[in-house]
Copies of this chain bind each other. A is one copy, B any other.
Amino acid sequence: RHGETEAEDMVGVVTGLAWTQVGGEILTIESVSSPGKGQIKHTGKLGDVMQESIAAALSFVRSRAESFGISTEDFAKRDLHVHLPEGATPKDGPSAGIALVTSLVSVLTNIPIRHDVAMTGEVTLRGRVLEIGGLKEKLLAALRAGIKTVLIPKDNEKDLVEVPENVRHAMKIIPVAHVSEVLGIALQHMPEPLKIDEKNAHEGRIVEDNGATSPLAH
């Protein structure tokens, strides 16, 4: 089988959804990690906005690392590489945000991502999921690719009326408001937060560690 998506759950590989003038498309995102110096690289002919999405996704993960069980050392002594295959095809836009966060958390925690889940949504530095465009086209592409579950921004629920009923019924479409909900669904299991004694002693004052991994009420 050589389709657009992986046949099994893999670490770092997540299925995003893109939207172009000719319709929706599956957008594979893959991240790997190797011993290094805390640098991140990205490839795949990415436009400025998508490059910024990677930077924002990484800063979100770094700022909440402890709640994902990732230590400061995991960042400082490893390099990350985010690649979007089909390297000759230009890709841009902010809607891969939640998929990028998912890929990074997966590769840093070594927890595989469910291969039958696709997702679309911009993400803020606080993990809030923002509205995206092209919902109908993206859902059609997910259906064609055999996806079973699609995560969409809660702010796009209003757009579901434009999506054909058979598409809406063929997949589980889950509106999400915070990226913590995304991780709860897409990862095989949730990472365990670092315990106090695992925390890096020299880090000093701890900023923002209250409840980052449970869905926030909005």
On whether A33 and B125 interact (CB within 8 A), knowing A45-B52, A87-B49, the answer reads: no
Bound state CA distance, A117 and B126, in angstroms?
19
A window 95-111: CB within 8 A of B: 97, 107, 110
A7 touches B218 (CB 8 A): yes
A72 touches B207 (CB 8 A): no
Which of chain B's residues has its CB closest to A35's CB?
B72
State the Cβ distance, A178 to closest chain B Cβ, in Å: 11
State the Cβ distance, A175 to closest chain B Cβ, in Å: 10
Bound state CA distance, A197 and B65, in angstroms?
30
A59 touches B83 (CB 8 A): yes
A30 touches B124 (CB 8 A): yes
State the Cβ distance, A153 to closest chain B Cβ, in Å: 8
Chain B contacts of A83 at CB under 8 A?
A: 56, 59, 124-125
On whether A2 and B177 interact (CB within 8 A), knowing A45-B52, A49-B87, A203-B35, the answer reads: yes
Chain B contacts of A97 at CB under 8 A?
A: 87
Q: Give the residue of B65, B81, B88, B93 whose beta carbon is less than 8 angstroms from that of A49.
A: B88
9 new A-B contacts, CB < 8 A, other than A35-B203, A77-B204, A83-B124, are: A2-B218, A12-B125, A30-B126, A33-B207, A34-B75, A35-B75, A41-B59, A56-B87, A110-B208
The 3 residue pairs across chains A and B that have the minimum distance between CB atoms: A87-B94, A59-B81, A32-B63
